[in-house]
Structure 1
Amino acid sequence: MAAAQELLARRGQEGVTLREITDRAGANVSAVSYHFGSLKALCDSAIENALERYLDAQIDEVASLDTASGVEDLAAAFARPMMRALEAGGRDLAVMRTVARVGIDPPEGWGRLTAKFQQSRRDIVRQLSAKTPGVDERELDFRIRCAAGLLNWLVLAPIGAELAAEPPEQIERWLVPVLAGAFLGSPNVG
């Protein structure tokens, strides 16, 4: 699974072969075929696993906030799984890159995680609603999806590698205000 996630993160589903994954994992093709049935099933499983880990971490971070938390606290909680991955690198960053690629081109099995996506957005909308009176839920959902898209782009783009070279405090100092701004929108529009 880890080998599949790492290769998927680099090249996407069309850019990996079963032999490549098994060589990296030190496994044989027949074992993968027995457990997963096909390269596509293995890739789908690796993608779902990565996405579920990411959503669980994000849900936990947002759930740890209280009503006194501000928009920047919410933005930090929203981005914390990705910021940790940038800091840690390796498999954690591979998981985030896999999640980002999936966000751009969702696989067929995406529907299994619909409830988690909805829970994550619902939790964030609930936090954000109190801080943005007069902004309807549909617009807040749009802002959240835009912020998620920004994180996806960041982890895949060259600027993400530049950011990963920075200390964790700097990553947070630069990234959180940008996400908070996306959440808040223009003060003149509501």
Structure 2
Amino acid sequence: MTNHFNTKERILHAAEDLFAQHGFAGTSLRQVTSRADVNIAAVNYHFGSKENLVHEVFKHRMDEMSEKRLSALSECVAKDPADLHGILLAFIQPALALTMDRHGASFVRVLARAYAEKNDGLRNFLSENYGQVLREFAKAIAVCLPQLSKEELYWRMDFTAGALTYAMADFGLIRRQPGVTEKAHCEKAAQHLIAFAQAGLKA
């Protein structure tokens, strides 16, 4: 059984690294099999097609992240439904924590590719599988900011999610200072992003 699991994991990690480097269209299954050191039959057995493999790379990371987000959200709302800071923390922290994972950094680049490449199939997949998570957060934020119309709220949430993706990808002007641990840098990024998002949502 372990062997089974290892093969699947190896294929997922190889695909994630290659998608991060070359994009989805630019990566062939042959490259994936060569990087994972498996044959094409193994990919077909575990995933069936390249499209499924792309979807599984996302599920592999996002299922867990979504679960953490939603459980932090329900805890926060149970304590205080008007705690906008806590709601944003529940949204932002699990995503930034992903960047701390050794393989997570590759996935963040894959995520940035998903935004950059006009891949409708992938967008539909993400919206069908993870759109509900955003809607749950929108509902919670609407309670804190009843003056916002639904459209205005969705615009502001889109910008917040975009800023979060950008912070995750670490493209920005802020580099981790020498002597600052990855974890401390990540926590600082979360604090700044939450302050920024709160101000933007309330504007």
Q: Quick one: percent identity of the two aligned structures?
A: 21
Q: How far, CA to CA, are the matches of 1:186 and 1:55 in structure 2? A: 22
Match of 1:64 among 69, 72, 75: 75
- 1:182 aligns with 197
**Correspondence 1:98 to 2:110:** yes
Query: Mind listing any 5+ residue stretches in structure 2 that lack a counterpart?
Result: 1-11
Match of 1:20 among 31, 54, 79: 31
- 1:127 aligns with 140
Are 2:87 and 2:140, in contact at CA under 8 Å, matched by a contact in 1?
A: yes
TM-score normalised per structure 1: 0.77
TM-score normalised per structure 2: 0.73
Q: How far, CA to CA, are the matches of 2:114 and 2:184 in structure 1? A: 28
Q: How far, CA to CA, are the matches of 2:138 and 2:32 in structure 1? A: 39
> What code does the residue aligned with 2:15 have?
A
Are 2:114 and 2:122, in contact at CA under 8 Å, matched by a contact in 1?
A: no
Q: How far, CA to CA, are the matches of 1:64 and 1:6 in structure 2? A: 34
> What code does the residue aligned with 2:112 have?
A
Are 2:76 and 2:83, in contact at CA under 8 Å, matched by a contact in 1?
A: no
Are 1:50 and 1:98, in contact at CA under 8 Å, matched by a contact in 2?
A: no
The alignment of Structure 1 onto Structure 2 pairs a total of residues equal to: 187
- Cα gap change, 1:186/1:32 in structure 2, threshold over 3 Å: closer, same or farther? closer
Q: How far, CA to CA, are the matches of 1:79 and 1:147 in structure 2? A: 9
Are 1:9 and 1:94, in contact at CA under 8 Å, matched by a contact in 2?
A: yes
- Cα gap change, 1:102/1:161 in structure 2, threshold over 3 Å: closer, same or farther? farther
